[in-house]
Amino acid sequence: MHLTRMITVVGAHAEGEVGRVITGGVFRPKGSTMFECMVAMERDSSWIRDMLLYDPRGSVNAAVNLITPPIDPRADIGMIVMESDYFVPMSGSNLICTVTVALETGIVPMAGPSTIVRVDTPAGLVEVEADCRDGKCRRITFRNIPSFVMHRDRQVEVDGLGTIRVDVAYGGMIYVIVNAEDLGFKLSRDEGRRLVEIGERIKQASAVQLPSVHPENPGIHTINQTLFAGPLFRDGGVLASKNAVVVSPGRIDRCPCGTGTSARMALLHARGELKVGEAFKHLSIIDTEFQCQILETAEVGGVAAVVPQVSGRAWLTGISNYGIDPEDPFPNGYRLSDTWFR
């Protein structure tokens, strides 16, 4: 065996969503903040993302995360999230996978049944409480960065759909949020391909018609995903809803989506439908769930915001060492439109 660029990756999934975690073979990119590190990695080392996520070593239904030493002195670890089309400031499911991997592989020691892990992300410091028993991380609960509405009750023109009503909100990524019932969706598994096709169109139209820039970090300025929001209902007295997030270049998030959940909670609070401290259960298209609440209100660059708490579980699936044979014709991988869409 003759392989170069050897990288160790621990496989994991959070409530069904695959989030692989790099634990060896990659140094932290240069930068004075984790956001600068993310920008540097996307600019100079995107081959790592391509190698691990594109065919023939990866697949469209995964993300990959790099555990790094933190820059923020308050943090225990740093994290950079690489999705198929974007390096993103924050991802809830990937945070859950990353912290679970860090604890269960010993990168961060378990400190009793309630272990606090502070993660330096490009979006800011995120505090995590891990429920740990018998060497296993049972549940991850994190206090997300402040989340807020960027556009509310706006009209956009979408090819093939005409004029539709949307909202745009930030929860670590920027989401365009659409009422699923308005477009005839029930958010069932058999609607996945159609949700992807429509969701990508909505995202592209909204990105052009509704410029969305973070008020404190102009480097965060792209609508990353489309969130189809199901109707609100009560489950045992707890406010609940189903959702489906379309992840570019075209697939459905298998979990309820942590940053999307945060963005939606900000929107629900702005509408007076979710109170501070009120429990909220967010379901995925495969009926896995995140248990959530708004901890408090906040302000970001003069914009009213909320501080969400999201709780979910992850499971490790294996450990792999990836490399490149010098004679391999696809050292950085490739994408084919049968599964990658574009």
Identity of residue 266: A
| Whether the Cβ atoms of residue 150 and residue 223 lie closer than 8 Å to each other | no
Residue 127's alpha-carbon distances to 33, 75, 92, 120, 322, in angstroms, are: 17, 9, 12, 9, 31
Catalytic residue numbers, as ranges = 91
User: What span, in angstroms and rounded, lies between the C-alpha atoms of 206 and 226?
Assistant: 9
Round to whole Å and give the CA distance between 101 and 116. Answer: 14
DSSP 162-181: EEEEEEEEESSSEEEEEEGG
Rounded CA-CA distance 293/81 in Å is 24
